[in-house]
Amino acid sequence: MKMSINSMLLITTLSVAMWGCAAADTVVGVDPANVKVAAANANAVTIVSDTASQDSSKFDFFRDHSFEIKEEVQDARAEAVTMQNEIDRVTKIAKKYSEYTSMAVTEEEKQIASGLARSVWECELNTLCARAAGISDVKKEKILNDQKNWSILKDEVVSNYISEGKDGKEADKQLASEYLETVTKNRCIILAKAIADSREDEEFEMPERSVYGTFADSQDNADMLSSFLITRKADDGTNVALISIHQMALLEGTFKDKGNGELEFIGNRNNIKGTIKLDGWEGATLEITNSSDEIYNVGLHYTFDLAF
Protein backbone atom coordinates (compact mmCIF):
# COMPACT_ATOMS: atom_id res chain seq x y z
CA MET A 1 0.00 0.00 0.00
CA LYS A 2 2.81 2.40 0.76
CA MET A 3 4.29 1.92 -2.71
CA SER A 4 0.84 2.40 -4.25
CA ILE A 5 0.31 5.68 -2.41
CA ASN A 6 3.77 6.95 -3.36
CA SER A 7 3.28 6.02 -7.01
CA MET A 8 -0.07 7.66 -7.35
CA LEU A 9 1.15 10.88 -5.82
CA LEU A 10 4.37 11.01 -7.85
CA ILE A 11 3.13 13.73 -10.15
CA THR A 12 3.24 16.33 -7.39
CA THR A 13 5.52 14.97 -4.68
CA LEU A 14 7.96 17.46 -3.15
CA SER A 15 11.69 17.11 -3.74
CA VAL A 16 13.15 16.89 -0.23
CA ALA A 17 16.21 18.97 0.43
CA MET A 18 18.18 19.60 3.60
CA TRP A 19 15.73 19.50 6.54
CA GLY A 20 12.59 18.47 4.75
CA CYS A 21 11.49 21.10 2.26
CA ALA A 22 11.85 21.32 -1.46
CA ALA A 23 14.35 23.78 -2.82
CA ALA A 24 13.11 27.35 -2.62
CA ASP A 25 12.86 27.68 -6.41
CA THR A 26 11.19 24.31 -6.92
CA VAL A 27 7.52 24.12 -7.81
CA VAL A 28 5.93 20.75 -8.29
CA GLY A 29 3.44 20.49 -11.13
CA VAL A 30 1.99 17.92 -13.45
CA ASP A 31 4.31 15.25 -14.80
CA PRO A 32 5.53 16.53 -18.18
CA ALA A 33 5.24 12.97 -19.52
CA ASN A 34 1.48 13.15 -19.06
CA VAL A 35 0.78 16.62 -20.35
CA LYS A 36 0.92 18.61 -23.54
CA VAL A 37 2.91 21.71 -22.75
CA ALA A 38 2.63 24.64 -25.09
CA ALA A 39 5.85 26.62 -25.21
CA ALA A 40 3.99 29.85 -25.71
CA ASN A 41 2.14 29.25 -22.45
CA ALA A 42 5.17 28.31 -20.35
CA ASN A 43 5.09 31.62 -18.52
CA ALA A 44 1.38 32.24 -18.36
CA VAL A 45 0.13 35.55 -17.03
CA THR A 46 -1.18 35.21 -13.49
CA ILE A 47 -4.94 35.67 -13.21
CA VAL A 48 -6.58 35.32 -9.83
CA SER A 49 -9.77 37.27 -10.30
CA ASP A 50 -13.24 35.90 -9.65
CA THR A 51 -13.90 36.08 -13.40
CA ALA A 52 -11.04 33.70 -14.10
CA SER A 53 -12.25 31.36 -11.38
CA GLN A 54 -15.72 31.19 -12.89
CA ASP A 55 -14.52 30.77 -16.48
CA SER A 56 -13.69 27.11 -15.94
CA SER A 57 -14.84 26.08 -19.43
CA LYS A 58 -11.53 27.36 -20.83
CA PHE A 59 -9.36 25.50 -18.33
CA ASP A 60 -6.80 23.23 -19.98
CA PHE A 61 -6.13 20.23 -17.74
CA PHE A 62 -3.32 19.02 -19.98
CA ARG A 63 -1.11 22.07 -19.75
CA ASP A 64 1.59 22.26 -17.08
CA HIS A 65 0.30 24.87 -14.63
CA SER A 66 3.31 24.75 -12.29
CA PHE A 67 4.82 27.98 -13.59
CA GLU A 68 1.68 30.06 -13.14
CA ILE A 69 1.08 28.50 -9.72
CA LYS A 70 4.59 29.51 -8.68
CA GLU A 71 4.06 33.05 -9.95
CA GLU A 72 0.71 33.42 -8.21
CA VAL A 73 2.14 32.22 -4.90
CA GLN A 74 5.13 34.55 -5.27
CA ASP A 75 2.77 37.46 -5.95
CA ALA A 76 0.69 36.56 -2.91
CA ARG A 77 3.80 36.64 -0.76
CA ALA A 78 5.03 39.93 -2.24
CA GLU A 79 1.68 41.67 -1.79
CA ALA A 80 0.93 40.34 1.71
CA VAL A 81 1.50 42.72 4.63
CA THR A 82 1.41 40.00 7.30
CA MET A 83 1.72 36.22 7.45
CA GLN A 84 -2.01 36.02 8.15
CA ASN A 85 -2.68 37.99 4.99
CA GLU A 86 -0.31 35.77 3.01
CA ILE A 87 -2.04 32.57 4.07
CA ASP A 88 -5.42 34.12 3.24
CA ARG A 89 -4.19 35.03 -0.24
CA VAL A 90 -2.74 31.59 -0.90
CA THR A 91 -5.99 30.02 0.33
CA LYS A 92 -7.86 31.94 -2.38
CA ILE A 93 -5.43 30.71 -5.03
CA ALA A 94 -5.84 27.11 -3.89
CA LYS A 95 -9.62 27.53 -3.87
CA LYS A 96 -9.52 28.78 -7.45
CA TYR A 97 -7.69 25.68 -8.63
CA SER A 98 -9.85 23.33 -6.57
CA GLU A 99 -12.94 24.69 -8.29
CA TYR A 100 -11.67 23.36 -11.61
CA THR A 101 -12.09 19.83 -10.25
CA SER A 102 -15.83 20.06 -10.90
CA MET A 103 -15.08 20.59 -14.60
CA ALA A 104 -13.04 17.38 -14.90
CA VAL A 105 -14.77 14.71 -16.97
CA THR A 106 -12.32 11.89 -17.62
CA GLU A 107 -10.44 9.96 -14.94
CA GLU A 108 -7.21 11.47 -16.22
CA GLU A 109 -8.59 14.98 -15.85
CA LYS A 110 -9.86 14.21 -12.34
CA GLN A 111 -6.46 12.88 -11.30
CA ILE A 112 -4.68 15.97 -12.63
CA ALA A 113 -7.26 18.34 -11.12
CA SER A 114 -7.04 16.76 -7.67
CA GLY A 115 -3.37 17.71 -7.45
CA LEU A 116 -3.57 21.35 -8.52
CA ALA A 117 -4.63 22.89 -5.19
CA ARG A 118 -2.11 20.66 -3.44
CA SER A 119 0.61 22.04 -5.71
CA VAL A 120 -0.32 25.54 -4.55
CA TRP A 121 0.29 24.60 -0.90
CA GLU A 122 3.47 22.69 -1.76
CA CYS A 123 4.78 25.82 -3.49
CA GLU A 124 3.87 27.94 -0.46
CA LEU A 125 5.55 25.41 1.84
CA ASN A 126 8.79 25.83 -0.13
CA THR A 127 8.90 29.55 0.57
CA LEU A 128 7.87 29.16 4.22
CA CYS A 129 10.61 26.61 4.86
CA ALA A 130 13.28 28.99 3.64
CA ARG A 131 11.98 31.78 5.84
CA ALA A 132 11.52 29.55 8.88
CA ALA A 133 15.16 28.52 8.57
CA GLY A 134 16.07 32.17 9.12
CA ILE A 135 14.20 32.52 12.41
CA SER A 136 16.66 33.55 15.11
CA ASP A 137 14.91 32.68 18.34
CA VAL A 138 14.94 29.79 20.80
CA LYS A 139 12.16 27.95 18.94
CA LYS A 140 14.14 27.60 15.72
CA GLU A 141 15.63 24.18 16.50
CA LYS A 142 12.23 22.66 17.30
CA ILE A 143 10.71 24.18 14.17
CA LEU A 144 13.43 22.66 11.97
CA ASN A 145 13.26 19.27 13.69
CA ASP A 146 9.47 19.16 13.38
CA GLN A 147 9.69 20.03 9.69
CA LYS A 148 12.24 17.26 9.10
CA ASN A 149 10.05 14.74 10.92
CA TRP A 150 6.95 15.94 9.08
CA SER A 151 8.68 15.32 5.76
CA ILE A 152 9.91 11.86 6.80
CA LEU A 153 6.55 10.71 8.15
CA LYS A 154 4.24 12.39 5.63
CA ASP A 155 3.82 9.54 3.14
CA GLU A 156 3.26 6.96 5.86
CA VAL A 157 0.69 9.21 7.54
CA VAL A 158 -1.24 9.45 4.27
CA SER A 159 -1.02 5.68 3.78
CA ASN A 160 -2.36 4.93 7.26
CA TYR A 161 -5.09 7.57 7.13
CA ILE A 162 -6.42 6.42 3.76
CA SER A 163 -5.86 2.67 3.79
CA GLU A 164 -6.43 1.37 7.32
CA GLY A 165 -9.84 -0.14 7.81
CA LYS A 166 -10.49 -0.34 4.08
CA ASP A 167 -10.41 -4.17 3.91
CA GLY A 168 -7.29 -4.21 1.82
CA LYS A 169 -8.82 -2.19 -0.99
CA GLU A 170 -6.59 0.11 -2.99
CA ALA A 171 -6.70 3.64 -1.66
CA ASP A 172 -8.77 6.16 -3.55
CA LYS A 173 -6.29 8.31 -5.45
CA GLN A 174 -8.34 11.49 -5.28
CA LEU A 175 -9.02 11.02 -1.57
CA ALA A 176 -5.30 10.50 -0.93
CA SER A 177 -4.49 13.64 -2.90
CA GLU A 178 -7.07 15.70 -1.01
CA TYR A 179 -5.77 14.47 2.34
CA LEU A 180 -2.18 15.28 1.38
CA GLU A 181 -3.38 18.75 0.40
CA THR A 182 -4.93 19.14 3.85
CA VAL A 183 -1.82 18.13 5.80
CA THR A 184 0.38 20.31 3.57
CA LYS A 185 -1.88 23.30 4.14
CA ASN A 186 -1.82 22.58 7.88
CA ARG A 187 1.98 22.53 7.84
CA CYS A 188 2.00 25.88 6.03
CA ILE A 189 -0.24 27.35 8.73
CA ILE A 190 2.06 26.08 11.48
CA LEU A 191 5.17 27.55 9.83
CA ALA A 192 3.39 30.83 9.09
CA LYS A 193 2.48 31.08 12.78
CA ALA A 194 6.10 30.46 13.78
CA ILE A 195 7.35 33.14 11.40
CA ALA A 196 4.73 35.65 12.60
CA ASP A 197 5.65 34.96 16.23
CA SER A 198 9.30 35.71 15.47
CA ARG A 199 8.39 39.18 14.25
CA GLU A 200 7.76 42.13 16.48
CA ASP A 201 4.13 43.18 16.88
CA GLU A 202 2.70 40.66 14.40
CA GLU A 203 -0.15 38.37 15.40
CA PHE A 204 -1.38 35.20 13.71
CA GLU A 205 -4.69 33.58 14.62
CA MET A 206 -4.67 29.82 14.19
CA PRO A 207 -7.89 28.38 12.77
CA GLU A 208 -9.85 26.00 14.96
CA ARG A 209 -8.95 22.36 14.36
CA SER A 210 -11.51 19.64 13.82
CA VAL A 211 -11.70 16.57 16.06
CA TYR A 212 -10.61 14.66 12.96
CA GLY A 213 -6.89 14.64 12.40
CA THR A 214 -3.58 12.80 12.52
CA PHE A 215 -0.92 13.02 15.20
CA ALA A 216 2.48 11.32 15.38
CA ASP A 217 5.39 10.92 17.76
CA SER A 218 8.19 13.12 16.43
CA GLN A 219 10.77 10.88 18.11
CA ASP A 220 9.79 8.01 15.84
CA ASN A 221 11.55 9.46 12.83
CA ALA A 222 12.89 6.31 11.26
CA ASP A 223 12.01 5.29 7.72
CA MET A 224 8.45 4.42 8.66
CA LEU A 225 5.81 5.67 11.04
CA SER A 226 5.59 3.62 14.24
CA SER A 227 3.49 5.74 16.62
CA PHE A 228 0.40 7.55 15.44
CA LEU A 229 -3.12 8.52 16.44
CA ILE A 230 -5.74 9.02 13.74
CA THR A 231 -9.28 10.27 14.27
CA ARG A 232 -11.60 10.33 11.28
CA LYS A 233 -15.16 9.82 10.11
CA ALA A 234 -15.87 6.46 8.48
CA ASP A 235 -17.96 6.07 5.34
CA ASP A 236 -21.01 5.24 7.47
CA GLY A 237 -20.58 8.39 9.59
CA THR A 238 -19.06 6.63 12.60
CA ASN A 239 -16.28 8.42 14.49
CA VAL A 240 -13.26 6.11 14.22
CA ALA A 241 -9.88 6.19 15.97
CA LEU A 242 -6.77 4.23 14.92
CA ILE A 243 -3.82 3.97 17.31
CA SER A 244 -0.37 2.44 16.98
CA ILE A 245 2.44 2.82 19.52
CA HIS A 246 5.96 1.65 18.69
CA GLN A 247 4.59 -0.78 16.11
CA MET A 248 2.45 -2.59 18.67
CA ALA A 249 -0.74 -4.22 17.42
CA LEU A 250 -3.01 -1.68 15.78
CA LEU A 251 -5.78 -0.56 18.13
CA GLU A 252 -9.03 0.40 16.44
CA GLY A 253 -12.18 1.76 17.98
CA THR A 254 -14.77 4.49 18.03
CA PHE A 255 -14.97 7.75 19.95
CA LYS A 256 -17.47 10.23 21.30
CA ASP A 257 -16.70 13.93 21.29
CA LYS A 258 -17.02 15.19 24.89
CA GLY A 259 -16.15 18.77 23.95
CA ASN A 260 -13.11 20.94 24.69
CA GLY A 261 -10.85 18.57 22.75
CA GLU A 262 -11.66 15.52 24.89
CA LEU A 263 -12.72 12.29 23.20
CA GLU A 264 -14.07 9.18 24.91
CA PHE A 265 -12.40 6.21 23.20
CA ILE A 266 -13.95 2.72 23.08
CA GLY A 267 -11.68 0.02 21.66
CA ASN A 268 -12.94 -2.86 19.58
CA ARG A 269 -11.37 -5.55 21.77
CA ASN A 270 -10.69 -6.58 25.38
CA ASN A 271 -12.89 -3.92 27.01
CA ILE A 272 -10.40 -1.19 26.16
CA LYS A 273 -11.54 2.31 27.01
CA GLY A 274 -9.62 5.51 27.29
CA THR A 275 -9.44 9.27 26.94
CA ILE A 276 -7.98 11.11 23.97
CA LYS A 277 -7.14 14.77 24.50
CA LEU A 278 -6.49 16.97 21.50
CA ASP A 279 -4.29 19.98 22.09
CA GLY A 280 -5.20 21.94 19.00
CA TRP A 281 -2.17 22.34 16.75
CA GLU A 282 0.29 21.06 19.37
CA GLY A 283 -0.51 17.33 19.48
CA ALA A 284 -2.63 14.79 21.34
CA THR A 285 -2.47 12.36 24.24
CA LEU A 286 -3.97 8.95 24.92
CA GLU A 287 -4.68 7.44 28.34
CA ILE A 288 -6.06 3.91 28.75
CA THR A 289 -8.55 3.88 31.65
CA ASN A 290 -10.04 0.38 31.33
CA SER A 291 -8.62 -2.74 29.71
CA SER A 292 -8.08 -6.48 29.86
CA ASP A 293 -5.57 -6.26 27.02
CA GLU A 294 -1.96 -7.35 27.50
CA ILE A 295 -0.57 -4.59 25.30
CA TYR A 296 -2.81 -1.56 25.76
CA ASN A 297 -3.23 -1.92 29.52
CA VAL A 298 -4.67 0.39 32.17
CA GLY A 299 -2.43 3.32 32.97
CA LEU A 300 -0.77 3.53 29.58
CA HIS A 301 -0.29 7.20 28.76
CA TYR A 302 1.23 8.32 25.47
CA THR A 303 1.88 11.66 23.82
CA PHE A 304 1.76 12.31 20.09
CA ASP A 305 3.51 15.65 19.77
CA LEU A 306 3.44 16.27 16.01
CA ALA A 307 0.15 17.42 14.49
CA PHE A 308 -0.47 16.89 10.78
DSSP string, 254-267: EEEEEETTEEEEEE
- 8 Å CB contact between 178 and 114: yes
H or E element, residue 94: helix 83-99
List of residues 6+ apart from 78 with CB closer than 8 A: none
Dihedral sign, CA of 62, 31, 127, 146? Answer: positive
pLDDT in tens, the chain (308 residues): 333 443 334 333 433 333 444 443 333 333 333 323 222 232 332 333 343 334 445 777 777 788 999 999 999 999 999 999 999 999 999 999 888 888 878 878 877 888 889 999 999 999 999 898 888 777 778 888 888 888 888 888 887 777 644 454 555 777 788 889 999 999 999 999 999 998 888 999 999 999 999 999 877 555 555 789 999 988 888 999 999 888 788 899 999 999 999 999 999 999 999 999 999 899 999 999 999 998 899 999 999 999 99
pLDDT of residue 98: 87
pTM of the entire predicted model: 0.77
**Helix, strand or coil for residue 191?**
helix
* The pairing of beta strand 301-304 with beta strand 239-244: unpaired
Query: Residues with Cβ < 8 Å from 252, sequence gap 6 or more?
Result: 164, 165, 240, 241, 242, 243, 267, 268
pLDDT for position 143: 86
Strands laid side by side in the 239-244 sheet:
301-304, 284-290, 273-278, 262-267, 251-259, 239-244, 228-233, 213-216, 306-307
- Kind of pairing, strands 273-278 and 251-259? unpaired
Helix (H, G, I), strand (E, B) or coil at 288: strand
